[in-house]
Each structure stands twice: as C-alpha cells, then as structure tokens.
Amino acid sequence: MDKRPIGIFDSGVGGMTVLAQIKKYLPNEDLIYLGDTKNFPYGDKSKETIIKLSTKCIEFLIRQKVKMIIIACGTATSQSLEEVKKIYRLPIEGIIHPTVQDIKNSIKTEKLRIGVIATEGTIRSNKWQEELIRAMKEVEVINKACPLLAPMAEQGWTNNKVAKEAIKEYMKPFQNQKMDKLILGCTHYPLFCDLMKEELGNDVEIINTGEKIAKYLKEYLEKEEMENEEQHVGKSNYYLTDTECNFIEVASRLLKDETLETKIQKIDIE
C-alpha cells in the first residue's frame, strides 16, 4: 500500500480528460494535477523546450511527494518521456505506451488501418507510428497534425460553428479510408469526440488515451502493491502556472464540478 498521491501534468486543460478517467477507474487515489497554462501551448515548441518544461513540471510534482507521474500530454510524452525517465527514479508514464499495448491486446488481426491526430510536435516526433509498428508489424498509420484544436479546446470552443468546421476539415484524410481506429494523440481532443463521430460514423473506433492510461495505472498499482487504502475516498488538488485563462470554466464543465475553482492554486514552477 502507498498512500501518496499520483502526479499528473499537461500544458492546460487537456490532461483533465485523463484525470477524469483516472478518477473513475481509481476512486481511492489522491491526485495532484498540474496545468502549465503559463507555457501553453506545448504543441508548437521545440523538443529542447518541451524537455525543459517537463522537467520543471516533474520537479514540482516530486516536491508534492507523489508516488508516480503520468504525463497526460501527447506532446510531452512524445518529446520528453525517454529523457526524463533517465533522470528520475520514480515511475513516469506517458500516453503512448499504455494505449498501444491496449490496442495490441484487444485486436484479432494486426492488419489495421489506424489514424493518429495530434499536435505538430507529436506528429513530427513520429513516436505513435514507431510504437504502433513495433507492436503490430502490419499496421498502417495515417498521421494528421491538428494544430488548431488544443487552443480551441482551451477557449472552450468545442461545439460551436468554428469547431464543427475545423473538425470537418481535419477529418478529411480519414474519410473513405476504411479506417479501424482513430487515436486522439493529444489529450485535448476528447473534447471534440462527438463532432468527430458525426464526421466518421460508427465504424471507426475513436480512442481516448485517458481511458487506456487509467486501466494501465490500475494494473500497475496493483502489481506493484502501490494502491491507496480501499476505504479511502480520493481527493484531487489542482495547480496552474497561470490562472488568467479559461481553464476553470472548461475543466468545471468537463468534471461536472462547480466547486473546482476553490481547489485550484496558482504556482510558479520556474
């Protein structure tokens, strides 16, 4: 048993889609969420910058005495996970590996056509494609960067006219392609899931990485005997590096928690 909290970070509100799933699958765990809103967006920054920012987020979470860290950001996972794992001793996991393993374990044939949508930085890193092909030799991957979506999600523009037009445009490469799955390789994107379904229909499985991570985390904590007590009711604390943003409004809607604002603290990680 390990009563320490789990640390989770992202550039903004996207990682809250992962936190929501972790809360659902692991209701006994205490969570500490860090949204690096001051440095949002991560999606168009260089690998060097992402490594520096990830390091700052991780060190802040370590100071909060977390037992492990989930990088709830596709951009930071693809560009910094390998590097930070070499530096820190506590367990750190991102969104790519648990998702790919779950897909591999659930399929009957490796002959799949999988779409990946993510930020520019994630697509540039080629990490999803590499990991998917390593796990399932015959998989065909179609990548598409969707740079407008994370800023729109941060603004709460997830179901207006602009969002509908953007999703229509970004889904074009996947239409009439006999796609099996579409991986939401950026954690902001589940906020557009309904619009994507409208464009792609029901035959394409849309993969929310948050759910895969939560399942992975549950198994990992059990295996390592690191779960909190069964009778404990998990609580969450939220930290933002800047509060002059729409995080509170968007996240309150997502978590259906009107008291969220009272649980948020502004901090400096520089």
Binding site for ligand DGL (CB under 6 A): 10-12, 14, 40-43, 73-75, 119, 122, 150, 186-188
Q: Which CB atom, from 61 or from 73, has the smaller least distance to ligand DGL?
A: 73
Q: Which CB atom, from 145 or from 171, has the smaller least distance to ligand DGL?
A: 145
What single-letter amino acid sits at 185?
G
CB of 104 to ligand DGL, least distance (A): 21
CB of 162 to ligand DGL, least distance (A): 17
Q: Which CB atom, from 5 or from 15, has the smaller least distance to ligand DGL?
A: 15
What backbone phi and psi angles, to 5 degrees, belong to 34?
-120, 120
Q: Which CB atom, from 77 or from 228, has the smaller least distance to ligand DGL?
A: 77
CA separation for the pair 195, 168 (Å, rounded): 8
User: Is the four-CA dihedral 136, 195, 143, 100 of positive or negative sign?
Assistant: negative
CB of 68 to ligand DGL, least distance (A): 19
Residue whose pair of structure tokens reads 């591999």 in the numeric block: 104
Q: Which of 73, 146, 193, 245 is catalytic?
A: 73
Is-catalytic flag, 73?
Answer: yes
Is-catalytic flag, 186?
Answer: yes
Write out the DSSP string of 7-27: EEEESSSTHHHHHHHHHHH-T
Give 223: exposed, middle or buried? Use CB within 10 Å, 0-12, 13-18, 19+. Answer: exposed
In 3D space, the residue among 266, 260, 254, 214 whose CA is nearest the CA of residue 235 turns out to be: 260
CB of 229 to ligand DGL, least distance (A): 31
Active site (catalytic) residues: 73, 186
